[in-house]
Amino acid sequence: MNIYDVSAKAGVSIATVSRVLNGNPNVSDKTRNRVLEVMDELGYTPNVFARGLGLNTMKTVGIMCSDSSDPYLAHAIYYLERELRANGYDSILCCTGSELVNKRQYFELLLSKRVDAMILAGSKFVEIDSAEDNNYIIEAAADLPVMLVNGYLDAPGIYSTVCDDHDAMYQVAHRLLQSGRRQILYLYTSHSYSGMNKLQGYKDALTAHGMPVRQELIHRCAKDLGEAKELLLSLADSGLTFDAVMTSDDSLAVGALKFAHCRKKSIPEELSIVGYNNSMLSYCTDPEISSVDTKIESLSIITVQSLMKVFGGGQVPGKSVIKADFVQKQTTDL
């Protein structure tokens, strides 16, 4: 079942069939209809390989993410896939984990599949500590568009769409301070671009309020609610006091809440807790956790829209920023 079968049965040349297939206007309505009819009768489907061979594109973009089972990234994948498909593009998904070697290897693999663009979802793809480790991305961007969702890298062919994490955290800290909190513990999971921005927002808010940045209030912790809880228990046992906890991820906030329950702290009076990403997790607990909505749907939509503009030869800024929303629930009274 190929273009020859259709052309034979319709009594036209393959060129004409191809024209019909591609919406070329230089076909008479009569011919077009006959061809379409035959295609329908024969249940003809064009062969994507043959098409790809000629055009060297398969209307497919590669999506990389470190872990599709993370709620935030799972949503990102969902929206990205939906938007790409709405624009006629398939997506090949690749979950890389967080090892640089694997990220590199999967990146190469997707390139070898001749994807039309790459989307790197999540802030885990830009190395902060060793800039040269990002070179493989920058080099690839010379050949095809690379879209960063919630990550930033300044190079030709790389387009970032990020949430203003700095501002989000600045606002949260600002409002906590305004409401009288004085010892805000800060828990974060990673040294990513996004992670550093969040932390800086927290620090800048303290400074703006004339408060010192106290290192003993800033702690890194695995993205695991059990570990977050244990960390807080041991910090409290060591004599550290705090009246609020800001976290870079909802899972840490859940851990903080478990700590509060464990130590019978009243919430939000004795301890305010703020999560990040406003995921399902923040709705599961009792009380529900106030959290920052990072607009992953908007982020994803803008990413795909930008990509389509790039494909169309349009001008796209190297960085698009959207604002986050603070969603007040029951662990704060701001």
Partner DNA sequence: TTGTAAGCGTTATCAC
Partner DNA sequence: GTGATAACGCTTACAA
Residue 284 contacts a second copy per CB under 8 A: yes
85 Cα distance to chain centroid: 17
- Sequence-distant contacts of 256-263: CB under 8 A, at least 24 apart: 256/187, 256/228, 256/229, 256/232, 257/285, 257/287, 257/289, 257/331, 258/225, 258/228, 258/229, 259/228, 259/229, 259/232, 259/233, 262/229, 262/233, 263/233, 263/236
Binding string to a second copy for residues 113 to 132, with x set by CB under 8 A, is what? xx------------------
Tokens found for residue 104? 């590199």
Write down the least CB distance from residue 48 to a second copy, Å.
6
Neighbouring C-alpha atoms within 13 Å toward the C-beta of 102: 11
Write down the least CB distance from residue 288 to a second copy, Å.
9
| Piece in contact with a second copy (CB under 8 A), picked from 87-95, 211-219, 303-311, 322-330 | 87-95
Q: Which does 25 bind (CB under 5 to 8 A by kind): DNA, a second copy, none?
A: DNA
Residue 47 contacts DNA per CB under 7 A: yes
Residue 254 contacts a second copy per CB under 8 A: yes
Considering only the C-alpha atoms of the chain, give the largest distance between any 2 of them, rounded to a whole number of Å.
Answer: 88
**13 versus 234: smaller Cβ distance to DNA:** 13
Near DNA by CB under 7 A: residue from 40, 43, 54, 180:
54
Q: Is 225 helix (H, G, I), strand (E, B) or coil?
A: helix
Q: Which does 27 bind (CB under 5 to 8 A by kind): a second copy, DNA, none?
A: DNA
Q: How far is CA 132 from CA 103, 119, 126, in A?
A: 14, 20, 10
Q: Round to whole Å and give the CA distance between 204 and 306.
A: 31
Q: Which does 60 bind (CB under 5 to 8 A by kind): a second copy, DNA, none?
A: a second copy
Residue 93 contacts a second copy per CB under 8 A: yes
**18 versus 320: smaller Cβ distance to DNA:** 18
Residue 257 contacts a second copy per CB under 8 A: yes
Near a second copy by CB under 8 A: residue from 152, 283, 311, 326:
283
Binding string to DNA for residues 6 to 25, with x set by CB under 7 A, is what? -----xxxxxx-xx-xx--x
DSSP state of 268: T
Q: Are strands 272-276 and 218-220 parallel, antiparallel or unpaired?
A: unpaired
Q: Are strands 158-163 and 290-293 parallel, antiparallel or unpaired?
A: unpaired
Residue 31 contacts DNA per CB under 7 A: yes
List interacting residues with a second copy (CB under 8 A).
45-50, 52-53, 56, 58, 60, 67-69, 71, 74-75, 77-78, 81-82, 85, 90-95, 111-114, 225, 251, 254, 257-258, 261, 280-281, 283-286
